[in-house]
Amino acid sequence: MNNKIALELRNITKRFGTKVVANKNVSLTLYKNEILSLLGENGSGKTTLMNMISGIYFPDEGEILIDGQPAVIASPKDAYRYKIGMIHQHFKLVDTFTAAENIILGNNEPYKLKVVNSRVKEIASKYGFDIDPQKKIHEMSVSEKQTVEIIKVLYRGADILILDEPTAVLTPQEIEKLFAVLRRMRNDGKAIIIITHKLNEVMEISDRVSVLRKGEYVGTVNTSEVSEKMLTEMMVGKKVDLKIDRVSVEIKKPLLEIRDLTVKSDVGTTSIKDVSFYIRGGEILGVAGITGCGQKELCEAIAGLRPIASGSIMHDGSSIVGMSTREIINRGISMSFIPEDRLGMGLAPSFSITDNMMLKTYGDGHGPFVDRKSARARASALIDKLSIVTPSTETPVRRLSGGNVQKILVGREIESGPNVIITAYPVRGLDINSSYQIYDILNEQKQKGVGILFVGEDLDVMLALCDKIMVLCHGEVMGVVHAAKTTKEEIGLMMTGSLDKSELKEYGKAKDSNLSEEEWKNAEKEMEE
Amino acid sequence: MLTSVIVNAIRMGTIFLFGCVGEILTEKAGHLNLGIPGIMCIGATGGAVAVHLFGGKVSSPLLVLFAIIFTMLFAALAGFLYSFLTVTLQANQNVTGLTLTTFGIGFMKFFSKRIYDQKFFVSLSSAFKNLFGLEKNTNPFVQIFLSHGILVYIAIIVAIICAVFLNKSRRGLYLRSIGENPATADAVGINVSLYKYTFITLGSAIAGLGGLYYIMDRSGGTQIAEAPIDSFGWMAVALVIASMWKPLLAAFGSIVFGGLSILDAMLTTLPLDKQKIFAIFPYLLTVLVLIMTSVVKNKNNQPPASLGLSYFREER
């Protein structure tokens, strides 16, 4: 390995205001020809540190050395001059522009798209990307957008690449592709820093790992010499148990029963087709599937946010089709959906934690005035329970890091005491410790007899946590399997549609249904009318 | 009859076109400047000051040149003030703009009363009108294309230059990226504040010319203090939406707006109250365009995505 130092950080400190210290005395070394993972819990200052290298923030103390020379990176322009390129977690692309237009943005080169297109294709073939330079960004999938971001920095000749949680929104296949590209870039002499929470990815892709904890530098280790468990301990600062328990609970009657549900997408295509399933109280039903297979539409249909085309949704023996969202919430069905960009759903960003706690319970108070006192108590209880990192209960939510925002959303939904929880990607982008806290909360709810629909990404987690797993492929059910009796490979095959177990038995109908077959038929008739 | 309608529509539309192109540049930088009506008043005042100072002392072309320079300077200053408040101090754009409009109207009334002499201004207005000296020619082609004052042609040329700049040039691409997503522009090293200041100020300077055109050409120097320039300014802002942020479309749209806004004056056979109903036509058209662009959700006809939002780099 070529051991030339590409980038060195010495004693970097960054504060936001007087209270928040995002980075404290952080030192870091990055070599050429290597992939370095930057690991840390939510709010440990990884993104802030990287933003200082890419010129978005300026450090309050400390120095940055590039190729052994002290460098002053006061703006993104400076960063480009030092051949540093950052691929942000929230893509920085102009939606209405084409890929090529985005790539030359700020480049000060002639506006000749033909030249740009051919150079882009050259870069793409060198590292194995797949891209159409003339496609507009708003027509692209998430992984295509990410490709544009990476090519954008390569086009500018970046030698140091920083990727902020690049895998959070990709499918397993897309991740494989990305990693292949990253390896090719490393072998080409680039220095790469990758921020990720997923330990298996850290082990797979990186040469060395640097760990931050609460804004402070913990240490750097060679990936080949450590285990996932050791990394977790470095990150959290104490021993952690990496086992998810599947608590066994006495079987109860079905709480939510869905039969032959068909739901249309925003553009009118069918996203959920003839889906039938049921959730018992005290049961976690996992929903596996490649992103965009109708998970979102299914959740929204149950929560009353999206009209259904046909079928029936029964809660505790009576139909909830056509009820308003408020009525459905009052029946005890709560939904928390974490979208791909992790922002913007369910919380008001400029409201404080306290005010966000009140958003769903505004109707409960007496008299015309808001009851901040009890909301504040609930907010601080939540902060303690989920160890949310925040200066106070009155801090606007948008000032917190992504993971902490998510904990508030999921926490609020559970706190309202539902009997059915619909949760989609609750741990998306969360670090290990926070993820396990969320799993614990779900298990706790399960023990209380709550029925849980868990739409997830990580198959390992779903196999350990869920009782049963329903696999979706293009909006159709490929079967429901018992988590204890199946394998990751089997589910993988079902996800891509190569294995269809839905014919094997009447998977979606509970024997002890709350309704008799006759009543189901009547409900069906009513729907048709 | 038709010829005279078209000629008047073009001339009336010129006022809107200046304001509209100026506002398009501003909005492409992500700022909704509702101060445009006031800025047009301030521009008109600048032009009046130039006429007051140099009228009769310099030749006609020089007087026109000085008037244009003064107008643009006054209007640019107002635009710069707006930029300082909204870009640097991050003040609310709507409130700042509306305040500027109120201020601009008062500014014009206050100063024009002190310098305005109707006889003097009317006699000098000929310098601004009839660039080619063909106003008396009755040939319809000459009437429609060659009978106007210099500012009419400047307006169209400015619109064309802006269209080319926005769609074909590198800096135009940068400017559009700022209006769409300033964080992106910033991250690739474009100087967001500099661009915002430059194009808000330039846009204001261009808009100001609409005011000058009205007092010295369209109205022939007959009125300043009572000139309804602010209401023309609102039409210009409406035209930005109707033309879907496209300067070339704005050039055609301005003629349509011009035609619609003189409709009431042409229908003299109707009683006065019925005539006035036709004054709402341009706004009706704007509403129709808004409805159409909202129903047909074409990404290319939408306003700049971060229009009206302040940008601060370290915001989290």
Q: What is the pLDDT of residues A35-81, one digit of tens each?
A: 999 988 777 888 889 989 988 889 999 999 998 899 999 888 888 88
Give per-residue pLDDT as tens, B59-106: 999 999 999 999 999 999 999 999 999 999 999 999 999 999 999 999
Q: What is the mean pLDDT of residues A397-404?
A: 77
Lowest mean pLDDT among A168-177, A224-233, B98-107, B136-145: A168-177
Q: How many Cβ contacts (< 8 angstroms) between chains A and B?
A: 76
- d(CA A395, CA A407) in angstroms, rounded, equals 15
Contact between B177 and A105 using a beta-carbon 8 Å cutoff: yes
Q: What are phi and psi of A267, to 5 degrees?
A: -95, 5
Nearest neighbour of A94 by CB, restricted to B168, B181, B314: B181
- d(CA A35, CA A196) in angstroms, rounded, equals 12
Which residue intervals of chain A bear CATH 3.40.50.300? Answer: 5-236, 254-334+417-528
Contact between B173 and A109 using a beta-carbon 8 Å cutoff: no
pLDDT confidence of residue B316: 43
Residues of A in contact with B186 (CB under 8 A): 56, 76
- d(CA B102, CA B39) in angstroms, rounded, equals 10
Which residue of chain B comes nearest to A156, CA vs CA?
A: B188
- Which of A66, A61, A56 minimizes the C-alpha distance to A23? A61
Query: Any idea where the domains of chain B sit in the sequence?
Result: 2-315
Contact between B184 and A138 using a beta-carbon 8 Å cutoff: no
Test mutation, A84, A87, A88, A94, chain B, max B CBs within 10 A: A94
Which residue of chain B comes nearest to A138, CA vs CA?
A: B299
| B46, B74 Cβ separation under 8 angstroms | yes
- d(CA B44, CA A283) in angstroms, rounded, equals 74
Contact between A105 and B188 using a beta-carbon 8 Å cutoff: yes
pLDDT confidence of residue B59: 93
Q: Quick one: residue B289, left, alpha or beta (phi over 0 = left, psi -120 to 50 = alpha)?
A: alpha
Contact between A92 and B187 using a beta-carbon 8 Å cutoff: yes
HSE-up of A30 (CA within 13 Å, CB side)? 27
3-state helix, strand, coil in chain A (%, to 5): 35, 25, 40
| A455, A339 Cβ separation under 8 angstroms | no
Domain A254-334+417-528 annotated CATH 3.20.190.10: no
Contact between A109 and B170 using a beta-carbon 8 Å cutoff: yes
Test mutation, A15, A105, A156, chain B, max B CBs within 10 A: A105
Nearby residues of B11 by Cβ (< 8 Å), 6 or more positions away: B148, B152, B217, B218, B258
Residues of B in contact with A76 (CB under 8 A): 186-189
Identify the burial level of B109 via C-beta atoms within 10 angstroms of its C-beta, where 0-12 means exposed, 13-18 middle and 19 or more buried: middle
Residue bearing the bigger pLDDT, A241 or A524:
A524
pLDDT confidence of residue B157: 97
Contact between B170 and A77 using a beta-carbon 8 Å cutoff: no
Beta-sheet pairing, A191-195 with A20-31: unpaired
DSSP classification of residue B179: H
**3-class DSSP assignment, residue B76:** helix
Contact between A94 and B314 using a beta-carbon 8 Å cutoff: no
Angle, alpha carbons B220-B104-B112 (nearest 5°) = 45
Element (DSSP H or E) covering residue A461: helix A459-465
CATH of segment(s) B2-315: 1.10.3470
pLDDT confidence of residue A343: 55
Residues of A in contact with B187 (CB under 8 A): 54, 56, 76, 86, 88, 92
Residues of A in contact with B168 (CB under 8 A): 111
pLDDT confidence of residue A328: 87
Nearest neighbour of A111 by CB, restricted to B173, B185, B314: B173
Residues of A in contact with B169 (CB under 8 A): 111
Query: Quick check: A396 pLDDT over 90?
Result: no
Task: Print the SS3 string covering A292-353.
Answer: CCCHHHHHHHHHCCCCCCEEEEEECCEECCCCCHHHHHHCCEEEEECCCCCCCCCCCCCCEH
Query: Quick check: A144 pLDDT over 50?
Result: yes
Angle, alpha carbons B187-B192-B194 (nearest 5°) = 145
Query: Quick check: A372 pLDDT over 60?
Result: yes
Task: Give the end-to-end CA distance of chain A in Å, rounded to a whole number.
Answer: 72
DSSP classification of residue A169: T
Nearest neighbour of A97 by CB, restricted to B170, B177, B316: B177
Query: Quick check: A13 pLDDT over 50?
Result: yes
Residues of B in contact with A93 (CB under 8 A): 181, 184
Residue bearing the bigger pLDDT, A437 or B71:
B71
Residues of A in contact with B305 (CB under 8 A): 95-96
In the sheet that A420-424 helps form, which strands lie side by side, from edge to edge?
A333-337, A420-424, A451-455, A283-288, A468-473, A476-482
- d(CA A158, CA A191) in angstroms, rounded, equals 9
Confidence of residue A527 (pLDDT cuts 50, 70, 90): low
Contact between A106 and B174 using a beta-carbon 8 Å cutoff: yes
Residues of B in contact with A80 (CB under 8 A): 188-189
Nearest neighbour of A106 by CB, restricted to B180, B188, B313: B188
The mean pLDDT of chain A is: 84
Interface of A to B at Cβ within 8 Å reads: 16, 54, 56-57, 75-77, 79-80, 86, 88, 92-97, 101-102, 104-111, 136, 138, 152, 398-399
Residues of A in contact with B246 (CB under 8 A): none
Confidence of residue A108 (pLDDT cuts 50, 70, 90): confident
Q: Would you state the structure tokens that stand for residue B293, as one six-digit string? A: 């662009």
Which residue of chain B comes nearest to A343, CA vs CA?
A: B316
Query: Quick check: A340 pLDDT over 60?
Result: no
Q: What is the mean pLDDT of residues A11-18?
A: 86
Nearest neighbour of A105 by CB, restricted to B168, B185, B313: B185
Domain A5-236 annotated CATH 3.40.50.300: yes
B303 CA to chain A: closest CA distance, Å?
A: 11
B246 CA to chain A: closest CA distance, Å?
A: 15
- d(CA A99, CA A131) in angstroms, rounded, equals 9
Q: Quick one: residue B130, left, alpha or beta (phi over 0 = left, psi -120 to 50 = alpha)?
A: left
A185 CA to chain B: closest CA distance, Å?
A: 21
Residue bearing the bigger pLDDT, B21 or A271:
B21
Residue bearing the bigger pLDDT, A367 or A150:
A150
Q: What parts of chain B have a pLDDT lower than 50?
A: 316
- d(CA B28, CA B7) in angstroms, rounded, equals 31
Q: Would you state the structure tokens that stand for residue B161, as one six-digit string? A: 């230059």
Q: Taking the CB of residue A246, how many other CB atoms lie within 10 A of it?
A: 15
pLDDT confidence of residue B270: 77
Q: Taking the CB of residue A439, how many other CB atoms lie within 10 A of it?
A: 19
**3-class DSSP assignment, residue A270:** strand
Q: Taking the CB of residue A216, how many other CB atoms lie within 10 A of it?
A: 16
| B142, B134 Cβ separation under 8 angstroms | yes
Long-range contacts of residues B3-7, Cβ cutoff 8 Å, at least 24 apart: B3/B140, B3/B143, B3/B144, B4/B143, B5/B259, B5/B262, B5/B266, B6/B144, B6/B255, B6/B259, B7/B143, B7/B144, B7/B147, B7/B148
Nearby residues of A472 by Cβ (< 8 Å), 6 or more positions away: A275, A287, A288, A289, A293, A294, A295, A298, A478, A495
Test mutation, B180, B184, B312, chain A, max A CBs within 10 A: B184
Which residue of chain B comes nearest to A73, CA vs CA?
A: B189
Query: Quick check: A174 pLDDT over 90?
Result: no
- d(CA A60, CA A21) in angstroms, rounded, equals 10
Contact between B316 and A398 using a beta-carbon 8 Å cutoff: yes
pLDDT confidence of residue A1: 46
What angle separates helix B229-242 from helix B281-295, to the nearest 10 degrees?
20
Nearest neighbour of A94 by CB, restricted to B170, B184, B300: B184
Q: Would you state the structure tokens that stand for residue A128, as one six-digit string? A: 């194995």
pLDDT confidence of residue A241: 64
Beta-sheet pairing, A283-288 with A468-473: parallel
Q: What is the mean pLDDT of residues A208-215?
A: 90
Contact between A92 and B305 using a beta-carbon 8 Å cutoff: no
Nearby residues of A219 by Cβ (< 8 Å), 6 or more positions away: A210, A211, A234
A247 CA to chain B: closest CA distance, Å?
A: 39
pLDDT confidence of residue B215: 94
Q: What is the mean pLDDT of residues A217-238?
A: 87
Contact between B173 and A80 using a beta-carbon 8 Å cutoff: no
Interface of B to A at Cβ within 8 Å reads: 168-170, 173-174, 176-177, 180-181, 183-190, 299-300, 302, 305, 313-314, 316
HSE-up of A344 (CA within 13 Å, CB side)? 5
Which residue of chain A comes nearest to B315, CA vs CA?
A: A399
A52 CA to chain B: closest CA distance, Å?
A: 11
Contact between A104 and B170 using a beta-carbon 8 Å cutoff: yes
- Which of B66, B12, B53 minimizes the C-alpha distance to B228? B12
Residue bearing the bigger pLDDT, B117 or A401:
B117
Query: Quick check: A242 pLDDT over 70?
Result: no
A88 CA to chain B: closest CA distance, Å?
A: 10
Q: What is the mean pLDDT of residues A115-129?
A: 91
- d(CA A90, CA A51) in angstroms, rounded, equals 13
Nearest neighbour of B170 by CB, restricted to A110, A398, A399: A110
A77 CA to chain B: closest CA distance, Å?
A: 4
Residues of B in contact with A77 (CB under 8 A): 189
Lowest mean pLDDT among A177-181, A311-315, B254-258, B290-294: B290-294
Contact between A108 and B168 using a beta-carbon 8 Å cutoff: no
Q: Would you state the structure tokens that stand for residue A441, as one six-digit string? A: 């909360």
Residues of B in contact with A51 (CB under 8 A): none
